[in-house]
Amino acid sequence: MIFQFTYETVLGDVTFVEEDGALLVISMKSDHGGKVAETPLIKDAFQQLSEYLIGERKEFDLPIRMRGTEFQKRVWRALLDIPYGETRSYKQIAEAIGNPKGVRAVGMANNRNQLLIVIPCHRVIGASGSLVGYGEGLEMKEFLLRLEKSLP
């Protein structure tokens, strides 16, 4: 069964979606078709996100389920390897997954990431260091990167 619950955060409303003991979605969009219920996992995920947003957490310890193509999953796993407070370019991610010409495809995979912040696609930037392409808007990407840079 799929469960979802929405919380108000400093980012705005964030919805968490769980299925069979794993998080499927963390999103700014509110309706994901699940039964509205605050499960223990969803409550824990919200707690960990809240700790992240006030600088008390740098890594998440949550069971997640990535839904996507094998290529997308490779990209998302590479994103999980980007340390807190650091960034990588789309090109660096493409090279890390063994597809150096797949820069645009890496960008599309980032766009399909359904686990906001936990899979840190906000840490991926343009080759010139510019902030480009974030599904929740560049202001939020800048906010998250600033948050991570400002804390030890």
Distance from chain centroid for Cα 21 = 18
Q: What is the pLDDT of residues 92-141, one digit of tens each?
A: 999 999 999 999 999 999 999 999 999 999 999 887 776 776 667 678 88
pTM: 0.91
Active site residue 48: no
Q: Is the pLDDT of residue 57 over 90?
A: yes
Q: What is the pLDDT of residues 19-36, one digit of tens each?
A: 999 999 999 987 778 899
What does the alpha-carbon distance between residue 33 and residue 35 come to, in Å, rounded to a whole number?
7
Write down the catalytic residue from 115, 121, 124, 145. Answer: 121
C-alpha separations of 110 from 1, 6, 51, 57, 151 in Å: 27, 23, 24, 22, 25
